[in-house]
């Protein structure tokens, strides 16, 4: 069973609608017992990093997520903020994250502020940096929908799955063993986004 983790950070409805379109059974839950028994996890999210970590902590979800992901090796897909939470630290609130990736979340700073805006919003291309089940039938340089003000700085380049250019290159997807994260929104990216969600479901 796929569980969409509900930790009061929004964007759950969009993910729900796309899974329904794929005729996929799922549960939306904040119950640690339900999450512990999932065979796929989706961690969506839009909002402030420090608030999100506090919500996970007060809901008692950090321990169950660490066990499910790090010990039981349940596949998990983080989307937007959900991906950023997988990192060690974020400038947004000067807050520690889940620490699954050796990475820091930092705010965009551009030299050409007329052409490049914060937040980075709209359609942009992804470039695939390694072979992955998540990328099956997704062509190189496909367009996905983005909306974010912060991005990842990885210390382990082998963890990068995609990069995207917005004045400069930044990591737009990560993968390590059973852990997947995308900065873009597959649930808002039409057919190509559905393909990515289907790939995750079929792992």
Confidence of residue 131 (pLDDT cuts 50, 70, 90): very high
**Can you give the three-state secondary structure of 64-89, one letter per residue?**
HHHHHHHHCCCCEEEECHHHHCCEEE
Q: Alpha-carbon distance 140 to 148, whole Å? A: 22
Residue numbers annotated as active site: 80, 185, 187
Q: Alpha-carbon distance 195 to 191, whole Å? A: 6
pLDDT digits (tens, 9 = 90+) for 46-87: 999 999 999 999 999 999 999 999 999 999 999 999 999 999
Q: Which fold is adopted by the domain 2-201?
A: Rossmann fold (3.40.50)
What does the pLDDT read at residue 200?
98
Q: Where are the domains of the chain?
A: 2-201
User: Are 92 and 48 within 8 A, CB to CB?
Assistant: yes
pLDDT digits (tens, 9 = 90+) for 19-53: 999 999 999 999 999 999 999 999 999 999 999 99
């Amino acid at each position: 069973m796929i569980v969409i983790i509900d930790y009061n950070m929004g964007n759950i409805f969009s993910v729900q609608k796309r899974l329904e379109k794929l005729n996929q059974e799922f549960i939306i839950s904040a119950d640690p017992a339900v999450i512990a028994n999932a065979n796929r996890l989706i961690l969506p999210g839009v909002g402030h990093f420090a608030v999100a970590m506090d919500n996970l902590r007060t809901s008692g979800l950090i321990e169950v997520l660490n066990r499910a992901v790090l010990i039981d090796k349940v596949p998990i897909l983080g989307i937007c903020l959900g991906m950023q939470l997988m990192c060690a630290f974020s400038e947004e609130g000067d807050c520690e994250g889940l620490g699954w990736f050796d990475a820091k979340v930092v705010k965009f700073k551009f030299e050409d502020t007329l052409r490049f805006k914060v937040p980075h919003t709209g359609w942009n291309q992804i470039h695939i940096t390694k072979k992955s089940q998540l990328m099956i039938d997704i062509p190189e340089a496909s367009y996905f929908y983005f909306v974010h003000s912060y991005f990842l700085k990885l210390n382990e380049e082998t963890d990068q799955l995609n990069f995207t250019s917005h004045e400069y290159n930044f990591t737009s997807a990560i993968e390590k063993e059973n852990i997947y994260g995308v900065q873009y929104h597959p649930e808002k990216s039409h057919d190509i986004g559905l393909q990515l969600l289907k790939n995750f479901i079929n792992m």
